[in-house]
Amino acid sequence: MSRRKKIYEGKAKILYEGPEPGTLVQYFKDDATAFNNKKKATLEGKGVLNNRISEFIMLNLGRIGVPTHFIRRLNMREQLVREVEIIPLEVICRNVAAGSISQRLGIAEGDPLPRSIVEFCYKNDTLGDPLVAEEHITAFNWASTQEIDDIISLTLRVNDFLSGMFAAVGIRLIDFKLEFGRLYEGDMVRTVLADEISPDSCRLWDIETNEKMDKDRFRRDLGNVTEAYAEVARRLGIMKEAPRAANDEAWK
């Protein structure tokens, strides 16, 4: 059997041609990067966990009517997704100050924000994904005003859903990043949620202890990164124990 054609390789995932036109296979790697690729490592088992966590979240979002690119999980590292045209924005939603907003605006990390804030960054590694305003997005045709409206309302629905879902298992959703795509169906175009939702793209703190259970453990050298991701999966009822890389087959 010949290997599927690689369409795109990102920092944490690879996209392969799918089995049918209009589909892709999204493969989750164990690679972790931070600070615009300046810090790199391989975290054994991370890809397996993110595949499962993202599957769980996308499926549940689909059930409440949020359109996503997700079709189904194929195996422990791959999922079948719909091919979309990615809108070149990183959409960030924040409930509590942390990371770049704390640095930019001098708000102490952990301070609750007066309301949920949605920010846009232009997806461009060379420029370091700069923060942009809606003015820039429409002026440079990265997305239309209708698409921005759809993106904001979908992001706020995702935020409400995820905040409740995580709160139920003792986790506080501090912030997260989403990506959206254009799904072409005949003459229609729909804005759908794409990429992944995992501890790589969310800040998740234990409600009781404020312990970080997300990629900040890697960014800030706090250790036990995959263990924390496995704990998120365990609390959500997805996986009973952490994956053993040597025994990958067991997770198929």
Residues that bind ligand UDP (CB under 6 A): 90, 92, 98-101, 129, 175-177, 201-203, 215
Query: Which of 18, 96 has the CB closer to ligand UDP?
Result: 96
Query: Which of 4, 235 has the CB closer to ligand UDP?
Result: 235
Least distance CB 219 / ligand UDP (angstroms): 7
- β-strands 188-194, 171-185: how paired? antiparallel
Query: Which of 49, 101 has the CB closer to ligand UDP?
Result: 101
Find the residue with minimal CB distance to ligand UDP: 99
The burial class, CB within 10 Å (0-12 / 13-18 / 19+), for 150 is middle
The whole-angstrom separation of Cα 110 and Cα 23 is 40
Long-range contact set of residues 104-112: C-beta below 8 Å, sequence gap at least 24: 104/131, 110/210
Least distance CB 196 / ligand UDP (angstroms): 9
Least distance CB 241 / ligand UDP (angstroms): 25
Question: Are 46 and 58 a contacting pair, CB within 8 Å?
Answer: no
**Which tokens hold the place of 158?**
């995702």
Least distance CB 227 / ligand UDP (angstroms): 18
Query: Which of 69, 177 has the CB closer to ligand UDP?
Result: 177
